[in-house]
Homo-oligomer: A and B are copies of this chain.
Amino acid sequence: MGCDQTISNMHKPITIKDIARKFKCSPSTVSRALNNHPSINEDTRRNLQEYAQKAGYQRNQVSLNLLNKKTASIGVIVPTINNYYESAVIEGIDAVLHPLGYTLNICVTNERYLLESEYVAKLLSNRVEGIFLSVSQETYDSGHYQHLEDAGKRSVPLIFIDRDYGGFAAGSVTIDDYHGAFAAVEHLISIGRRRIAHLKGPNGMAVTEQRFRGYVTCLKKYGIPVDDSLIVNTNFKVESALEPTAHLLGLTPPPDAIFGVNDQVAIGAMKIIREKGLLVPGDIAVVGFDDSPISAYISPSLTSVARPGRQIGEEAAKIFLNSLLGVADYDKPVQIVLPSQLVVRDSSRRS
């Protein structure tokens, strides 16, 4: 009536020792047989391999990691994965590192700083060989770097994405947010707009501030006064653009263009503009940032600044590899800045 077996999940995985016992030989022999070591007798090897296969033996990588003091795994900490850019970065890292046998350990912080800190500790404790860190959107003050010091001490290569920080990082890869934003605003000016609003990201973040700087600098260059009432904060999410945009449209006069910190908020803005009975780009031109795939397909199609997420991942991975080879000079971390590219679409055609 009772079951004739211990419950299924108690099955311990079969080990090399188990096999050795079965065959009355030493674990070394089994190990060598399974690894096709030349000094093992042909018959012995075949028998052992056959049995191992049949018994479902699976090498315990954990013990090997301990023995070899390396894990062939690297940590990737990102604020979110539900997002074209972030996943492109991951894809880029993987494209370079996977062929070399590395496994990615992806950690999603959902923008929470505490989790970021926790993950760094966990990854280090798990002896990853490198950490890629796309920092959370919570403000980073000096204290926030504290938890990264261990990585520094251990000399685990630490590569920043979207933020350069020389402290103890092996390097950083960012895109030229500044010039991208500048180009976006310059484009709006070139089609005759003068009252250009900005849906800014959360204050304090690197990308936010760089894009903001591009916006401000461009306005100044063309002699357009920077109007604080045209600058409002969002949190990158589409919903966060709704209220701020409504506010902007209520101004007198309203803006004739909106530059969003990313495509999401730009799309949110366009919805509000439509609902107020205004036209894009006729009444208000809109530009986003990221060039997410969807932006080419919505109506009107969205002008946006493309950032090469995949390439960023690839470059970051290369920095990691170089740092492994000792090529990196720790006094001067590698800092790569990739160009961004304005893609003009209908949302900002000259009307």
Q: Which residues of B contact A299 (CB under 8 A)?
A: 270-271, 274, 298-299
Bound form: Cα–Cα A87–B109 in Å: 12
Q: Which residues of B contact A294 (CB under 8 A)?
A: 238, 267, 294
Q: Is A155 among interface residues, defined by CB-CB distance under 8 A?
A: yes
Q: Which residues of B contact A238 (CB under 8 A)?
A: 293-294, 297
Q: How far is the CB of A239 from chain B (nearest CB, A)?
A: 8
Bound form: Cα–Cα A69–B62 in Å: 9
Our pick among B12, B62, B80, B108 for the contact of A65 (Cβ within 8 Å) is B62
Bound form: Cα–Cα A81–B10 in Å: 33
Bound form: Cα–Cα A62–B94 in Å: 23
Q: How large is the interface on A (under 10, 10 to 19, 20 to 34, 35 or more residues)?
A: 35 or more
Asked if residues A62 and B126 are in contact (CB atoms below 8 Å), the reply is: yes
Bound form: Cα–Cα A90–B324 in Å: 31
Q: Is A323 among interface residues, defined by CB-CB distance under 8 A?
A: yes
Q: Which residues of B contact A125 (CB under 8 A)?
A: 58-61
Asked if residues A157 and B9 are in contact (CB atoms below 8 Å), the reply is: yes
Q: Is A330 among interface residues, defined by CB-CB distance under 8 A?
A: yes
Q: Is A106 among interface residues, defined by CB-CB distance under 8 A?
A: yes
A-B contact pairs, 30 of them (CB 8 A): A8-B326, A9-B323, A9-B324, A10-B326, A11-B155, A56-B154, A58-B121, A60-B125, A60-B127, A61-B125, A61-B126, A62-B62, A62-B126, A63-B66, A80-B87, A81-B90, A81-B106, A82-B83, A104-B107, A104-B108, A105-B106, A106-B108, A238-B293, A238-B294, A238-B297, A267-B294, A267-B297, A270-B299, A298-B298, A299-B299
Give A contacts to B, CB under 8 Å: 7-13, 56, 58-63, 65-66, 69, 71, 80-84, 87-88, 90-91, 94, 103-108, 110, 121-122, 124-127, 149-150, 153-155, 157, 238, 267-268, 270-271, 274, 293-294, 297-299, 323-324, 326, 330
